[in-house]
Amino acid sequence: MNDEKIKVRVTESGQTMDVVVLSKRAERIEVVLGEGIHSVRCELTPTRTGLAYAGSAMGREIVHERSRAQVQADIDRVNPAVRNAKRR
């Protein structure tokens, strides 16, 4: 199993960490911080300007510093069929 990982920054300390992505869409990225029974889920949503994704885990703000357009481009690159799918 190949888990996708992204880098996030803890704004309080400036520390960067790799987190595992559970689901990724342009309007929301759901990630897991930590491993095992001490893991914490966090939902990252685009900021007002759309230049980053921000969320809160255990009272700490975390930021994924990629724009909404860059994330959508990543999604399209990984699976181009999703972009061209027709609704029924």
Q: Is 87 domain-assigned?
A: no
For residue 88, being part of any structural domain is answered with no
User: What are the residues whose beta carbons fall under 8 Å from the beta carbon of 54, sequence distance 6 or more?
Assistant: 44, 45, 47, 61, 62, 63, 64
pLDDT value, residue 78 = 83
Helix (H) or strand (E) holding 76: helix 68-78
- Is residue 75 one of the residues assigned to a domain? yes
Tell me which residue of 72, 22, 21 sits closest to 46, measured CA to CA.
72
The predicted pLDDT at position 2 comes to: 74
Hey, is 5 helix, strand or coil?
Answer: strand
Residue 15 inside a domain? The answer is yes
User: Which pLDDT tens digit goes with each residue over 53-72?
Assistant: 999 999 999 999 999 999 99
Domain count for the chain? 1
Contact 3, 20 (CB under 8 A): yes
Residue at 14 is within a domain: yes
pLDDT at 79: 77
Residue ranges, the chain, pLDDT below 50: none
Q: In the 8-state DSSP scheme, what is residue 78?
A: H
Domain region containing 47: 5-82
* 78 part of a folded domain: yes
